[in-house]
Structure 1
């Protein structure tokens, strides 16, 4: 199948005003080969009778959307998690979209995992048990075109340049072109050989389906970009969803990439949030009004927050926590509060499995990873959590935790959304734009709280990133270098294979 990708000498057609008001979807999508073949066979033999003309590409779109959304940062475990589909987009493509979903359910390709409750939850879908064994045997994917789905309400973008968010994020998205490449053969071989991952040996079936999808997306240059102001406001691209184990295989115009991460980014932006509320920073006011209702934000939340922030006990908690964060030592200092115990030479933590709806015991290799998990629980769990580490931290920093809980009072997801919005505005809309304006010839890629460029330009990014983060926040950040080619996962894997060759005789199938 031919790929409609713009060459370096081509310029993307600008969208008209009417087109900008339409829903935009990407033309190229990836679908697991076994599912595509299954759908094609059934459509040919038992052609479904729908209200309007059948468009088989809509089946592909639904499947591709489920697996793409399963490939998100939130699904770190890369499991077969239930996914909510956007009814507005589906309806814009085909008014009879439920007939397509129901047909896929009847054919046992997907199943409905959650019932809709108005205002509380949406229907969610994932791959059915019937189709999973086939994915186990073949994790390959095929690229398909969605041009047939264009309608009066939907525009199918031929390239990333035609996505609805390209214009505002051009300084980052313009580098998604022919120069961005993945060593496809190397990455595929790495996945085939991998049976030991993140400290455990287990069946990697569904992970390998996702990994294959990530690799093929870059290999076929099926680039996409999304950014939703109503959720985390982060810029999502094939690189933000790429597992770190594949970073060593990525180059831009043959050059290796180097990234710079903001250390302790979520605690760092919490400090900025608190400082900004104290100083009435307009930037924070605008972001707060995006997350919370204007009435609630102005009349209740800010009054309560300012009252709590002036309490002597809070200031004592806050100054210590702030020092830990700005020194880049929060995880190390957290150990003295939590006092975790080792068992059999390892640390263990309780982790809630949302799919099974049970709490599971998970092994953690090092103290930093364990303490990072405690911080994430503190920031993103509900205020009624029974997590023991949360309670221990709250006993040590009661006033600070009470302030955090104010942000989660209506919905615990609001606080994570707030911090992600702050991070996104800082890194995407301020820092990276400043750098791109100063050095327009420098390739620049964002992965949430980090920015990356080629080795040739690494020293520029290393100098400017902390400079502009300070200009935005008034706080001095700690920046950590990450050379993609030397990423620890790859090195770790080779070392483990040398030390324990017997472990790698197991192939997970």
Structure 2
């Protein structure tokens, strides 16, 4: 069904000026059959009495939006976490949208989180305990159309070509077509058999709901694209939300995909940021203006940055840190600063459990993964954090941390948004466009700090990606190749079963 719909609408019509000011949502979405059937039955038997005409598709939209937002990068654990809904979009579809949300809550399909604070946070929703068991038992999804939700303020895009961000990212998004496929049956079997994930055995049922939704979205070609200048400015697609374990199942026109990742990307772009401030790079000035007000930046931030940058102590710390990053050995060198200790032969790290609202000790596969977590803590935690790793690193690099904290003065999230905006402009708007202009026949797919293509063109991408990153930043990057089929996760899973059979004795999930 979805293939036919997309193939009939490959040529996108031009939007009028009025339409460009409207909100755009995708026409095709996937909803778990168990929820759709439950909603349909209730609507027939106990039809809601709303003030205006009932649009059952709006129920579907709310449910699919919750699933989609639970599938984002921020929800790495893929748990049933509460997520916010965009009130502007909801209001554009139906002014009385709260009636629809309240009805879904009354029917115990979703529930509203209790940590909402008026004027300080948004309402957040997740699936109710009543519906979860059924959702976990039956993860089959059904394709639905949202055309009925179109209004004077909402455009329903019939295909990815009609998305708001298609034209400015056409060089990447045009490859989301019938050639992009996933071995759906193979991926489904893998999910069904999997009981070991990320170093431990536990209840994977809710993760499997999300995983099935991810592969179903790709299989049914329910393609979408978003890119928001107000947040990270990254290009989000069905591939950016696809778990790495499913890469071996993905092909383009039957060919294997090969990716090239920028190693240590966030530290790399921090070096570029610092160099750009020192050298008054206009490119950085434009990005900074998206994150901070010109008044705030020019009045006190720039002055504080210059004070730190001008000190000899900062220059000494910076040279050490920059060498680590540009040599691609930051995580290895971090070990000497942090001096991590093994417990019972393994490394452990503190990780926050958003569901339980507690910090838990989790096993980490190796010291590199442990140090990567430390770097993310340094970059993205709050200034007042009590994290011991943050304090340890700050003792050795107090001036570097002082500089980073300046970017977090107004909001802790500003610094991560800044680095992500730099990354996005570099990889999406400069590097990939350069390659696409030079070789328009090369299929290109982006996943944040990496670009991928088919095996046929991999050598061209391997040559040009570092060349154009250098042209943008003035820094020589370290690029790492990743063959999407290199890791046979199913074989790896079977090997773990053989080595640790006692972990798999219980098959209750």
**TM exceeding 0.5:** yes
Decide which moves more: 487-496 or 21-30.
487-496
Is residue 268–residue 326 contact of structure 1 (8 Å, CA) maintained in 2? yes
Within 5 A, what are the aligned runs for 1:7-406?
7=7, 10-114=10-114, 116-406=116-406
- 1:504 to partner: Cα distance: 3.8
> Following the alignment from structure 1 to structure 2, what is the Cα–Cα distance between the partners of residues 198 and 119?
38
- 1:502 to partner: Cα distance: 4.5
Q: Secondary structure at the match of 1:6?
A: helix
> Following the alignment from structure 1 to structure 2, what is the Cα–Cα distance between the partners of residues 489 and 345?
25
- 1:491 to partner: Cα distance: 4.8
User: Structure 1's 301 and 490: CA in aligned 2 closer, same or farther, altered over 3 A?
Assistant: farther
- 1:302 to partner: Cα distance: 1.1
Q: Secondary structure at the match of 1:240?
A: coil
1:443 equivalent in structure 2: 443
- 1:103 to partner: Cα distance: 0.4
Is residue 244–residue 489 contact of structure 1 (8 Å, CA) maintained in 2? no
> Following the alignment from structure 2 to structure 1, what is the Cα–Cα distance between the partners of residues 461 and 3?
33
Decide which moves more: 408-417 or 1-10.
1-10
User: Structure 1's 119 and 327: CA in aligned 2 closer, same or farther, altered over 3 A?
Assistant: farther
- 1:115 to partner: Cα distance: 5.2
- 1:500 to partner: Cα distance: 3.0
Is residue 6–residue 12 contact of structure 1 (8 Å, CA) maintained in 2? no
Q: Give CA deviations for 1:416-448 in whole Å, capped at 9, x if unaligned.
A: 000000000000000000000000000000000
> Following the alignment from structure 2 to structure 1, what is the Cα–Cα distance between the partners of residues 190 and 281?
48
CA RMSD of the aligned region, Å? 1.4
- 1:466 to partner: Cα distance: 0.2
> Following the alignment from structure 2 to structure 1, what is the Cα–Cα distance between the partners of residues 179 and 15?
25
User: Structure 1's 8 and 491: CA in aligned 2 closer, same or farther, altered over 3 A?
Assistant: farther
Decide which moves more: 296-305 or 154-163.
296-305
Is residue 195–residue 506 contact of structure 1 (8 Å, CA) maintained in 2? no
2:467 equivalent in structure 1: 467
Q: Secondary structure at the match of 1:169?
A: helix
- 1:505 to partner: Cα distance: 4.8
Aligned length: 509
> Following the alignment from structure 2 to structure 1, what is the Cα–Cα distance between the partners of residues 356 and 413?
20
1:426 equivalent in structure 2: 426
Is residue 114–residue 125 contact of structure 1 (8 Å, CA) maintained in 2? no
- 1:488 to partner: Cα distance: 6.3
Is residue 2–residue 143 contact of structure 2 (8 Å, CA) maintained in 1? no
1:485 equivalent in structure 2: 485
User: Structure 1's 508 and 279: CA in aligned 2 closer, same or farther, altered over 3 A?
Assistant: farther
> Following the alignment from structure 1 to structure 2, what is the Cα–Cα distance between the partners of residues 487 and 159?
32
Q: Secondary structure at the match of 1:258?
A: strand
- 1:486 to partner: Cα distance: 1.2
Q: Give CA deviations for 1:87-107 in whole Å, capped at 9, x if unaligned.
A: 000000001100000000111
Decide which moves more: 480-489 or 70-79.
480-489
> Following the alignment from structure 2 to structure 1, what is the Cα–Cα distance between the partners of residues 9 and 60?
31
Q: Secondary structure at the match of 1:13?
A: coil
User: Structure 1's 429 and 491: CA in aligned 2 closer, same or farther, altered over 3 A?
Assistant: farther
Is residue 249–residue 485 contact of structure 1 (8 Å, CA) maintained in 2? yes
Q: Give CA deviations for 1:169-202 in whole Å, capped at 9, x if unaligned.
A: 0000000000000000000000000000111111
User: Structure 1's 499 and 116: CA in aligned 2 closer, same or farther, altered over 3 A?
Assistant: closer
1:494 equivalent in structure 2: 494
> Following the alignment from structure 1 to structure 2, what is the Cα–Cα distance between the partners of residues 219 and 445?
17
- 1:498 to partner: Cα distance: 3.2
> Following the alignment from structure 2 to structure 1, what is the Cα–Cα distance between the partners of residues 195 and 303?
54
Q: Give CA deviations for 1:292-348 in whole Å, capped at 9, x if unaligned.
A: 111001111111101111111111111000000000000000111111111122111
Is residue 204–residue 508 contact of structure 1 (8 Å, CA) maintained in 2? no
- 1:397 to partner: Cα distance: 0.4
> Following the alignment from structure 1 to structure 2, what is the Cα–Cα distance between the partners of residues 471 and 117?
46
Decide which moves more: 132-141 or 269-278.
132-141
> Following the alignment from structure 2 to structure 1, what is the Cα–Cα distance between the partners of residues 476 and 119?
42
Structure 1 residue runs without a partner (length 5+): none
Is residue 109–residue 130 contact of structure 1 (8 Å, CA) maintained in 2? yes
Structure 2 residue runs without a partner (length 5+): none
Is residue 172–residue 444 contact of structure 2 (8 Å, CA) maintained in 1? yes
> Following the alignment from structure 1 to structure 2, what is the Cα–Cα distance between the partners of residues 425 and 260?
17
> Following the alignment from structure 1 to structure 2, what is the Cα–Cα distance between the partners of residues 9 and 129?
40
> Following the alignment from structure 1 to structure 2, what is the Cα–Cα distance between the partners of residues 287 and 491?
44
> Following the alignment from structure 1 to structure 2, what is the Cα–Cα distance between the partners of residues 474 and 508?
54
Is residue 28–residue 145 contact of structure 1 (8 Å, CA) maintained in 2? yes
Decide which moves more: 296-305 or 417-426.
296-305
User: Structure 1's 395 and 494: CA in aligned 2 closer, same or farther, altered over 3 A?
Assistant: same
TM-score (norm 1): 0.98
> Following the alignment from structure 2 to structure 1, what is the Cα–Cα distance between the partners of residues 488 and 302?
43
User: Structure 1's 323 and 370: CA in aligned 2 closer, same or farther, altered over 3 A?
Assistant: same
